[in-house]
Amino acid sequence: MADHNIMQYTSTNDEQESALQNKYMDEAAFYVDALSKQLGRKPLCCVTTFGCQMNARDSEKLLGILTRIGYLPTEKEEEADFVIYNTCTVRDNANQRVYGRLGFLNSLKRKKPHLKIALCGCMMQEKSVIEKIWQSYRFVDLIFGTHNIFKFAQLLVTMFENQEMIIDIWQETDQIVEELPVSRKYPYKSGINIMFGCNNFCSYCIVPYVRGRERSRDPKEIIREIERLVADGVVEVMLLGQNVNSYGKNLKEPITFAQLLQEVEQIDGLKRIRFMTSHPKDLSDELIDVMKHSTKICRHLHLPVQAGSDRILQAMNRRYTKEQYLSLVEKIKTAMPDIAITTDIIVGFPGETLEDVEETIDVVRKVQYDNAFTFIYSKRTGTPAAAMENQVPEEIVREGFDKLLKVVQDTARERAALLQGKVMEALVEEVNEQDDSLLTGRLSNNMLVHFPAGDIQIGQLVMVSLDTCHGFYYTGHVVDKKLSEAQLRDSLRELEKTQQFPIK
Ligand code: 5AD
Ligand code: SF4
């Protein structure tokens, strides 16, 4: 690789940094304005997100900067003048999708030479990826990683000033730059980063290598950001981190995640609080207690189990046993009988047998997950699991996976059916895609309900009767608020009776 393309901007302190980036936004705006004159219209940008909620939030930051400098957003790549892929590398299929779509971007660029193409996100933190792009995808204009996303405006200026591919990948950063523009996808709800990175090093996972060490944001900054969002119409926030339960441990003035939640709860006008993801090993009694007494924290906990066999859990470096996980779930369900628990599961970790998968299935049966994301193990170069010799043959993985998936779907369906006929509060999220006389709302437990719109607005909280359960969603109708509060209480009481203890 030619060295002169590889940028490494030095860091300044965080306030200076945001001022500097704002200056670069003004400079980039000149280039966009010139392009606008050349095209005779405002140029369009398309931000495509792969992967998790963290990436979705990062994409809002990218779009915030792009719109600030004069681009108009579009969701259609083929009509855009600037395309950026915010990539994921948690599993190999995400990488393959990026390479596949890059071929399409190449053909677009041949037809439209002024098209600029940028790549960022987790995949770009991998050396082998950069080498491959440098070798085979020379038409890409700009590449940067996860640690320097706050430099986006500056990188854009460098891109506009140069014809060659610009690559800027950092190995780490301790900077958290506040006060940059964000363009939110939804007016009524928003993700908020509370921490970055992960220190857990689960043996299959590439995240700690591409997202770096855990860094928590200052609680005051988090509260200030949420207050501003609420003033701007947001009623629901999702606090984001790879492992929110270890939030605050490394701050100068340490604070626990449960304490942060209590502060967020105080924000007037905020109606709902969600968070993700929780590592079972760090989920405290304090958190359970705060959730139990909260009127804003949603009755949903995403608690990845990954596997049910103690041998596999140990090889995965998860640092809990099946027994400990089940005890934790029991504690949570005892405190909050109406809580929905969801999970992530991997099948086919090195050395996993069909008997091990039976242990996972046993956990699913006992916990009664409301939903579970099931993944086939994907070998990630550089992780300890990739070097393990006992990789599982594909047919065995498939057999275990199919068996597990069936149990997961059956249990989720049974759980969903329990709520049929109940009255619950829903946040109205959008007009139904298939039928525009219906609205779609999200329940506190994260399930969706479709109901006739009437004069109800998007972003409103309404009481909905869940008339019919269709497996993974409901259809229903809005009920009168006063009446429904009594019904809601009855619904909850009935729901409590459906929990079976002990679960072990
Ligand atoms: N293979 C398959 N699934 C993985 N996950 C993380 N790494 C891998 C991998 N190498 C899953 C885990 C995690 C979710 C976000 O992705 O289940 O919780
Ligand atoms: Fe990956 Fe484990 Fe960190 Fe989650 S907790 S991001 S699975 S290393």
Q: Residue 460 corresponds to which amino acid?
A: Q
Q: Is the CB of 88 under 6 A from ligand 1?
A: no
- Of the two residues 434 and 117, the one the predictor is more confident about is 117
Token reading at 79: 């009509």
Q: Is the CB of 304 under 6 A from ligand 1?
A: yes
Percentage of the chain modeled with pLDDT above 90: 88
Each residue's pLDDT tens digit, 277-288: 999 999 999 999
Mean pLDDT for 238-250 is 95
The reported pLDDT for the residue numbered 454 is 86
Ligand 2 lining (C-beta closer than 6 Å) = 198, 200-202, 205, 207-208, 242-243, 279
In this prediction, residue 493 has a pLDDT band, given cuts at 50, 70 and 90, of confident
Query: Looking at ligand 2, which residue's alpha carbon is closest to its atom 2?
Result: 202
In this prediction, residue 482 has a pLDDT band, given cuts at 50, 70 and 90, of low
The reported pLDDT for the residue numbered 104 is 94
Q: How far is the CA of 317 from the centre of ligand 2 (A)?
A: 10
According to DSSP, residue 162 is labeled -
The reported pLDDT for the residue numbered 385 is 98
Which of 371, 305, 301, 372 lies closest to 336 in space, CA to CA? 301
- Name the average pLDDT for the chain: 93
Mean pLDDT for 295-319 is 98
Give the closest ligand to the alpha carbon of residue 375.
Answer: 1
Q: How far is the CA of 207 from the centre of ligand 2 (A)?
A: 6
Q: Is the CB of 89 under 6 A from ligand 1?
A: no
Give the closest ligand to the alpha carbon of residue 202.
Answer: 2
According to DSSP, residue 337 is labeled T
Query: Looking at ligand 2, which residue's alpha carbon is closest to its atom 1?
Result: 205
- CA 116, CA 354: separation in Å to the nearest integer? 48
CA of 201, closest atom in ligand 2? 8
In this prediction, residue 179 has a pLDDT band, given cuts at 50, 70 and 90, of confident
162 φ, ψ (degrees, to nearest 5): -125, 155
Mean pLDDT for 208-234 is 95
Mean pLDDT for 287-305 is 98
Give the closest ligand to the alpha carbon of residue 211.
Answer: 2
- CA 440, CA 434: separation in Å to the nearest integer? 11
CA of 379, closest atom in ligand 1? 10
Q: How far is the CA of 1 from the centre of ligand 2 (A)?
A: 32
Each residue's pLDDT tens digit, 132-159: 999 999 999 999 999 999 999 999 999 9
Q: Is the CB of 90 under 6 A from ligand 1?
A: yes
The reported pLDDT for the residue numbered 503 is 65
The reported pLDDT for the residue numbered 316 is 98
Q: How far is the CA of 197 from the centre of ligand 2 (A)?
A: 9
Which of 315, 322, 320 lies closest to 389 in space, CA to CA? 315
Q: Is the CB of 388 under 6 A from ligand 1?
A: no
Mean pLDDT for 224-228 is 96
Each residue's pLDDT tens digit, 351-374: 999 999 999 999 999 999 999 999
The reported pLDDT for the residue numbered 489 is 73
In this prediction, residue 11 has a pLDDT band, given cuts at 50, 70 and 90, of very low
The reported pLDDT for the residue numbered 224 is 95
The reported pLDDT for the residue numbered 437 is 93
How long is the chain?
A: 504
The reported pLDDT for the residue numbered 498 is 67
Q: How far is the CA of 414 from the centre of ligand 2 (A)?
A: 29
Axis crossing angle, helix 322-335 with helix 354-367, rounded to the nearest 10: 10
Query: Looking at ligand 1, which residue's alpha carbon is closest to its atom 14?
Result: 344
Q: How far is the CA of 172 from the centre of ligand 2 (A)?
A: 17
Are residues 488 and 419 in contact, defined by beta-carbon separation less than 8 angstroms? Answer: no
Is the pLDDT at 212 greater than 70, yes or no? yes
- Of the two residues 175 and 317, the one the predictor is more confident about is 317
Each residue's pLDDT tens digit, 43-87: 999 999 999 999 999 999 999 999 999 999 999 999 999 999 999
Is the pLDDT at 9 greater than 80, yes or no? no
CA of 344, closest atom in ligand 2? 7
Query: Looking at ligand 1, which residue's alpha carbon is closest to its atom 13?
Result: 344
How many Å is the maximal CA-CA distance in the chain? 70
Q: Is the CB of 303 under 6 A from ligand 1?
A: no
Mean pLDDT for 370-386 is 97
3-state helix, strand, coil in the chain (%, to 5): 45, 20, 35
Is the pLDDT at 3 greater than 70, yes or no? no
Half-sphere exposure of 371 (CA within 13 A, CB side): 13
- CA 105, CA 137: separation in Å to the nearest integer? 10
Mean pLDDT for 113-134 is 96
The reported pLDDT for the residue numbered 69 is 97
The reported pLDDT for the residue numbered 500 is 60
CA of 318, closest atom in ligand 2? 2
Q: Is the CB of 242 under 6 A from ligand 1?
A: no
Contacts of 189 by beta carbon, 8 Å cutoff, 6+ apart: 234, 235, 236, 237, 238, 272, 427, 429
Is the pLDDT at 2 greater than 50, yes or no? no
